[in-house]
Structure 1
Amino acid sequence: MDTRFLETFIVVAERHSLAEAAQRLNLTPAAVAQRIRALEAELGVRLLVRSGRVMRPTEAGFAILDRCRDLVRDTRDLKAMAGTATISGEMRIGAINTALTGLIPGILHRLAQDYPLIEIFLKPGASMDLYAEVLSGTLDAAFIIEPRFPMQKTLTFNKLRQEPLVLIAPRDCEGADPLELLQTLPFIRYDRNQWGGHIADEYLREIGIRPVERYELDALEAIAVMVDRGLGISIVPDWAPPWPAGLDIVKLPLPRSSAVRTVGIVVTRSSPRANLVAALLETSRAAMEL
């Protein structure tokens, strides 16, 4: 059985679309459909069925989906272990949104130059979710905020960048007292359920200020745009650029603050793709030194 056909089935089942699966796999929709038909013929069952505009697994498809994922992952592991002389294979990486735009492009550019045979699958997400996926083995590594709790002993966190929290405000607030702004202007809160938002919440508790909250959300870029539009002020990490284009805001240091968000890579201590993970860590550290 060709594991490429299993992977095609997995991608269609997850994306519910032949066209999106074709784009992900760099195939034509006709080629994707042909692979699915060949797999169904080999197994003797229907695996996918169209429901409206989407493709969904049949009962038989659902029954084998997790096992297919295991087989594809095991095959990749075998290839990675066998290819120690030449570093190659696929690596599944997660990343928070600001790392996707501010850190990942430079790191992947350097990785592609130094290790052209490594294939990367990228998954965006929140730190807590990506941490869990690395822990479960679904992801090989993830660019996340450093956890503020003792990590599982099977994982390690590799620091890349420290981002102090700052108060962002409209341009006409330049030179103002940040504490006075927090007491008087509407506040846009960085979601307290996010690890970075929890750091901002701790700072407000430490200085004893309860701002007048107007919104709470977890999209940092959106918060910056809302501040630019005069909807309020916010406390956010000074994340790696680029920031949204055209902003006319100021970044004010927080008084009496050591609040910092640390971004790095969480990986498993032992992985079948250890050589790929080591290449990622080496490349990431080198890219951060530039």
Structure 2
Amino acid sequence: MDTRFLESFVVVVESQSLADAARKLNLTSAALSLRIKALENEVGFALVARSGRTISPTASGLTLATRAKSFLADLRDFKTIGSERLLKGELRLGVASSAVAGPLCNLLLGLSDGYPEIELSVTKGSSSDLYRRLTNADLDVAMMYKPQFELPKSLEWRSVVKERYIVIASKPFGGQDPHELLRTQPFIRYDRTLWSGQLADEYLRTAGIQPKELMELDGLEAIAVLVDRGLGVSLVPNRSAPWPEGLSLAKLPLPDGAPVRDLGLLWTRGSSRLHLIEAIAEMTVDR
């Protein structure tokens, strides 16, 4: 049995969409359908029910997907047995979207130079999504922002870099009181569905500031561009990755008690890939 076909079927079940699964696997929908059909022929029963262009897993298909996921995880573990003391092998890494431009690029360059035999499979997403995927064993390690809730003892956290929140405004507002700007100027809010946006929202509530909200966005780059154009001000982390080029922003520090978001690595204690994870952690930790 070709394990790639099993992996493909698991992705289809988890995506709940043939088209989405095909994009994730970098296949055409037709090629993915052929893989599923070949797998059905091999196991001898239907895995999906087809209705026009849509498919859904059968009861037997769901059972197979669950067992296949466990089998594939064991198979990946078997492949690491001979290299437990060597820095080589596959590692599934999740990365917070706003950490791609800086920390991830630095990590990839370091791995290329120092550990070329570590094969990274990178997934991008929000920190909350990465946390869910890690606890579901879909990732080996996540480079994400630390949640405000207490982490379970089964997980290990190592901080990489801490980013203090600031008020950003267009250049003419440089030197002005940041709280006064938050109260009086149009406010471009960092998306509250993100953990980083929730930190900013909590600070505003604690400081008793009710901003004149203009819009709410989930991208720091887009927020910075709009602020630079004079459309408003924002409360955001002073990101470690480069800000977009060509902007002329006033970055105003907040008084004591400003929130700090903590970018770090999170993994499961006792992972079979702990030797690889610790090597990456040593490369990324902020000294």
Provide the TM-score with structure 2 as the length reference.
0.85
Shift of 1:55: 6.6
Whether 2:92 is the aligned partner of 1:92: answer: yes
Contact 1:12 1:55 in 2 (8 A): no
d(CA) in 1 for partners of 2:212, 2:282? 45
Residue number in structure 1 paired with 2:221 = 221
Contact 1:160 1:264 in 2 (8 A): yes
Residue number in structure 2 paired with 1:74 = 74
Shift of 1:78: 1.6
Whether 2:26 is the aligned partner of 1:23: answer: yes
Match of 2:226, SS state, is: helix
d(CA) in 1 for partners of 2:26, 2:224? 32
d(CA) in 2 for partners of 1:66, 1:179? 52
141-150 or 201-210, which deviates more = 201-210
Q: How does 1:97-112 map to 2 (within 5 A)?
A: 97-112=97-112
Contact 1:196 1:261 in 2 (8 A): yes
Residue number in structure 2 paired with 1:42 = 42
1:49-108 superposed Cα distances (whole Å, 9 cap, x missing partner): 776667765665444223222211111012123321433332222121111221111102
Provide the TM-score with structure 1 as the length reference.
0.84
Match of 2:69, SS state, is: helix
Residue number in structure 2 paired with 1:188 = 188
d(CA) in 2 for partners of 1:34, 1:193? 38
Q: Which amino acid in structure 2 is aligned with residue 268 of structure 1? A: T
Match of 1:160, SS state, is: strand
C-alpha change, 1:61 and 1:252, in structure 2 (3 Å) is same
In structure 1, runs of 5+ residues without a counterpart are none
Contact 2:225 2:247 in 1 (8 A): yes
1:11-53 superposed Cα distances (whole Å, 9 cap, x missing partner): 45546248635537xxx98876665444232112344577666
d(CA) in 1 for partners of 2:84, 2:245? 43
Residue number in structure 2 paired with 1:284 = 284
Q: How does 1:238-253 map to 2 (within 5 A)?
A: 238-253=238-253
231-240 or 208-217, which deviates more = 208-217
Match of 1:103, SS state, is: helix
C-alpha change, 1:261 and 1:80, in structure 2 (3 Å) is same
1:122-180 superposed Cα distances (whole Å, 9 cap, x missing partner): 22222223223323322211112222232101112101101111111122222322222
C-alpha change, 1:129 and 1:36, in structure 2 (3 Å) is closer
Q: Which amino acid in structure 1 is aligned with residue 18 of structure 2? A: H
d(CA) in 2 for partners of 1:31, 1:149? 43
Q: Which amino acid in structure 2 is aligned with residue 23 of structure 1? A: N
Whether 2:177 is the aligned partner of 1:177: answer: yes
d(CA) in 2 for partners of 1:242, 1:52? 47
d(CA) in 2 for partners of 1:64, 1:195? 35
Whether 2:208 is the aligned partner of 1:208: answer: yes
108-117 or 159-168, which deviates more = 108-117
C-alpha change, 1:55 and 1:250, in structure 2 (3 Å) is farther
C-alpha change, 1:272 and 1:20, in structure 2 (3 Å) is same
Match of 2:26, SS state, is: helix
Residue number in structure 2 paired with 1:134 = 134
Shift of 1:262: 1.3
d(CA) in 2 for partners of 1:70, 1:226? 47
Superposed CA RMSD in Å reads 2.8
Percent identical among aligned pairs is: 44
C-alpha change, 1:30 and 1:253, in structure 2 (3 Å) is same
